[in-house]
Structure 1
Amino acid sequence: MKFAITSKGDAKSNTLMQRMRTYLQDFQLDYDEDQPDIVISVGGDGTLLYAFHRYKNRLDKTAFVGVHTGHLGFYADWTPDEIEKLVIALAKTPFQIVEYPLLETIVRYQHGGREARFLALNESTVKSVEGTLVMDVEIRGQHFETFRGDGLCIATPSGSTAYNKALGGAIVHPSIDAIQITELASINNRVFRTVGSPLLLPAHHTCMFRPVNAVNFQITIDHLTLLQEDVKSIQCRVADEKIRFARFRPFPFWKRVHDSFIAN
């Protein structure tokens, strides 16, 4: 089996990364940064997001496992004092594959047929560079509303505990193939009106955002921020691809939610 390791970059994470690499190579596993079967993320959720985007073209061939060196993360289920256990599990134990849904965002542009496609593990957001964001929102090809406000957040189930939760969105179990749209400070008065609630869309529903004004947009894809010009439309749906996690023991989603937001 071939493996690669990504680190948060701090001294603690780098030390653990080097120890794990040495241990796994002692077990005759091959270190391969280009075509790994397993990617080990050492750090936090941000480190795993980085690893996901680095290997997003190998999602059907690569599985991920996380070691957290800071606060408990939603994607990292091993602690630094369990490194030896994880190494033995990787070297000796068949693992279970758990798949989580991803978000596909396609940006299409004016004056031509070019488009850009992105995958997000957590969420994508759309904001106006200047002033109020004004977007026509379509669901399944039908006009739903004209949104006016600071922006829109489109989240995956596993990303529903991140920015989406801070915006008042629902926490969604990642076994559900869906995306969630939440509003950022929408304008609601006697003249302008939005639904004002998060929307949960199943895998066979596509949403489309069409700019009402010819302005530039700031679009985020997880931790990446992109300035987009001459945008014709932004399409979001559940992606055909999924991220694959290597599980060697139970890692219940609701326990992660409890430990992160409720437990002392």
Structure 2
Amino acid sequence: MRYTVTSRGDDTSNALRKKVDKYLKEFGLTEDSETPEIVITIGGDGTFLHAFHQYSNLLSETCFVGIHTGHLGFYADWKPEEVEKLVIHIAKTPFQVVEYPLLEVVVRHYDRPQSDRYLVLNECTIKTLEGSLVCDVEIKGEPFETFRGDGLCISTPSGSTAYNKALGGAILHPSLASMQIAEMASINNRVYRTVGSPLILPQHHTCLLKPLNEVDMQITLDHKSIVDQCIKSIQCRVAEEKVRFARFRPLPFWKRVKESFIGE
């Protein structure tokens, strides 16, 4: 099996990376950072997100597994003291592949004909660098509302526990093929109205955002950020591609939610 190991870059994560690499080579696995069959991330959920985007062109061939060297994460769920156990699993045990949906974001521009397509694991946000965001929102090709406020967050089910939750969005099980739209401080008065509640859209529905004010738009795609004044529209839908996790043991999602937000 071909593997690669990525690290957050701190001393603890780098030392653990060397250990994992040494163990896997002793088991006869091949290190391959170009076309790995399994990507092992060491750090936290942020390290996992970077690795996902690095290998997003190999999603049908690559599985991911994360080791955390800080707080327990939703993606990095193996502990440093479990490294030997994980390495033996990778080398000796046929693993279960679990697939979760992703978000497809297509950005169209006024100043050039080609559009830009992105895959997102957690969320896409749309804001402006100054003033309020004003944009028409279409759902499934039909006008829905004109949004005015700080911005919008469109998240995947697995990203629903991140920024989306902080905005009051619902926590969704990551197996649900859907996306969620949450508002950031919408303006609601006698003149301007929005629905005011998070929206959960199924796989076959598309959300189209059309900015109405000519200001610099800031679009974030997980940890990446784009600033552009000539954005014509932003189209979001559940992607055809999925992220694949290598699962070696049961990992109850709601247990992780409880441990992360409620505690024992």
Please state which band the TM-score falls in when normalised by the shorter chain.
over 0.9
Superposition map of 1:230-249 within 5 A: 230-249=230-249
Counterpart in the other structure of 1:100: 100
* Aligned-partner SS, 2:171: coil
Matched residue, 1:19 = 19
Indicate the residue corresponding to 1:146 in structure 2: 146
Give structure 1 regions of 4+ aligned residues with deviation exceeding 3 angstroms: none
Which whole-Å deviations, capped at 9, do the CAs of 1:66-115 have from their partners, x for residues lacking one? 10111110012210001100010000000000001100100001144211
Matches within 5 A, 1:42-57: 42-57=42-57
Look up the match of 2:80: 80
Deviations 1:139-180 (A, max 9, x none): 011000000000000000000000000000000001100000
The AA in structure 2 aligned to 1:9 is G
Counterpart code for 1:78: W
Query: Normalising by the residue count of structure 1, what TM-score does the alignment of the two structures yield?
Result: 0.99
Q: Counterpart amino acid of 1:81?
A: E
- Specify the code of the residue in structure 2 equivalent to 1:96: Q
User: How far apart are residue 228 of structure 1 and its match?
Assistant: 1.9
* Alignment partners' CA distance in 1, 2:112 and 2:125: 24
| 230-239 or 211-220, which deviates more | 211-220
Provide the rounded CA distance (Å) in 2 between the counterparts of 1:258 and 1:61.
32
Query: C-alpha offsets along residues 199-242 of structure 1, whole Å, 9 cap, x if unaligned?
Result: 00000000000011222200000011111231110000000100
TM-score (norm 2): 0.99
Matched residue of 1:149: which SS? strand
CA distance in 1, matches of 2:116, 2:205: 20
In structure 2, the residue matched to 1:184 is 184
Per-residue CA deviation, residues 111-145 of structure 1 (Å, 9 max, x unaligned), is: 44211111110000000122110000000110000
- Residues of 2 paired with 1:171 and 1:194: CA distance? 21
1:220 matched residue in structure 2: 220
Q: For structure 2, which runs of at least 5 residues remain unmatched after alignment?
A: none
1:143 counterpart SS class: strand
Which residue of structure 2 lines up, in the alignment, with residue 110 of structure 1? 110
**Partner secondary structure for residue 78 of structure 2:** coil
Partner of 2:6: 6
CA distance in structure 2 between the aligned counterparts of 1:43 and 1:111, rounded to whole angstroms: 40
> What is the CA–CA distance in structure 2 between the aligned matches of 1:167 and 1:188, rounded to whole Å?
16
Amino acid at match of 1:241: E
Q: Which residue of 1 aligns with 2:208?
A: 208
Do residues 131 (structure 1) and 131 (structure 2) align? Answer: yes
Per the alignment, residue 174 of structure 2 pairs with: 174
Q: Which amino acid in 1 is paired with 2:27?
A: F
More displaced stretch, 225-234 vs 56-65: 225-234
Instruction: Report the counterpart of residue 155 of structure 1 in structure 2.
Output: 155
Amino acid at match of 1:30: T
Inter-partner Cα distance in structure 1 for 2:131 and 2:186: 13
Distance (Å, rounded) in 1 between the aligned partners of 2:112 and 2:70: 46
> 2 CA distance for matches of 1:230 and 1:43?
37
- Cα separation, 1, equivalents of 2:40 and 2:249: 16
